[in-house]
Amino acid sequence: MHSIKQLQEIIVKAVNEIDYPAQPKELYQPIAYLMSLGGKRLRPALVLMATDLFGGDVEEAISPALAIELFHNFTLMHDDIMDNAPLRRGKPTVHEKWNASVAILSGDVMFVKAYKLMIQVRPEILSGVLEVFNKTAVEVCEGQQIDMNFEVRQNVSIAEYLEMIRLKTAVLLGGALKIGALIGKANAENADLLYQFGENLGIAFQLQDDILDVYGDPEKFGKQVGGDIICNKKTYLLIKALELAKDQDAKTLELWLQQTNFDTTEKVEAVKGIYNRLNIRQIAEEAMQQHATKALQALENIDVAPENKSILLGFAEMLMAREN
């Protein structure tokens, strides 16, 4: 078994060693650029942890782990165009630094590169691994589309929101783990349980994101606290507040959502005040906890020695306790 730190070192080293062709440079420089911006590398680490959990050969899981990280960054490159995002990890996005055409085409070739790395698994599991990868990729796209649809919709329910984040964020954690499990020769039942662990952890992870955006420590958060409130992002917190707010709070919240000219600090404070009165933080934390618990139950039911699970357990706890 490897420690989280060892696995992350393996990933960082492997990411740094990815070789990109020199030409055409407009196609490959943006990929190298985006990949160099860092990030937590959670998803590839999950592939390795899953292989390790079942006593598989971690070396064998490196290419598929890189495939998952490339796929994730491909979705970021394309999502950033669609969301018109100027920054990614504090640096100019690819469509800002180059242009939208470059970001579209570099993203496409990045996706192929992901497949090229993914097919380096053992022939006997290739078909199974690709089934998981394809299903995950489709769902991530569906999640992004539903998220964009939410932006122009009036009413979004909590159930719809949870389904959206399941698709957009959580299935990739589940998929990464399941692919690692297949490499580690897990049986179908254990692989599915690990998928459930990842899926629920992913939902909890996104809920944590929503909470941190409002209640994070500005010193540690790394982004502007209240960013979601400022741009009316339909997060778990806002949807729940819209569901629960009555009378004056409901009116005030509606007013802030319609405001186009405002002082951002004032808006964040006002909306946060409503959240506080409605106990939104606690409700969101309970929802997060529920999914974390489901994740841990799935992990517990996996049929391997309990001591092997300690790394994934520690990883889940680290994710839930994070401050950025």
- Note the residues at the interface with a copy of itself (CB under 8 A): 24, 26-27, 78, 81-82, 100-101, 104-105, 107-109, 111-113, 115-116, 119, 123, 126-127, 130-131, 134, 137-138, 141-142, 144-146, 148-149
**Nearest to a copy of itself of 109, 304 (CB atom):** 109
| Exposure on the CB side of residue 246, measured as CA atoms within 13 A | 2
Q: Are 204 and 288 a contacting pair, CB within 8 Å?
A: yes
Both tokens assigned to 124:
């006997």
**Closest distance between a copy of itself and the C-beta of residue 262, in Å?**
27
Q: How far is the CB of 2 from a copy of itself (least distance, A)?
A: 28
Q: At closest approach, how far in Å is the CB of 95 from a copy of itself? A: 10
Q: How far is the CB of 98 from a copy of itself (least distance, A)?
A: 11
Q: Closest CB to a copy of itself among 149 and 276?
A: 149
Give me the least distance between CB of 115 and a copy of itself, in Å please: 6
Alpha-carbon distance of 132 to 182, in angstroms, equals 10
Of the pair 134, 276, the CB lying nearest a copy of itself is at 134
Query: How far apart are CB 126 and a copy of itself at their closest, in Å?
Result: 6
Nearer to a copy of itself, 137 or 292 (CB): 137
Pick from 106, 81, 109: nearest CA to 96: 81
Q: 10 Å Cβ neighbour count for 175?
A: 28
Judged by beta carbon, residue 149 or residue 264, the one nearer a copy of itself is 149
CB-nearer residue toward a copy of itself: 108 or 285: 108
Between 115 and 315, name the residue whose CB sits nearer to a copy of itself: 115
Smallest separation (angstroms) from a copy of itself to the CB of 224: 24
Give whichever of 35 and 319 is closer to a copy of itself, judged by the CB atom. 35
Q: How far is the CB of 293 from a copy of itself (least distance, A)?
A: 30
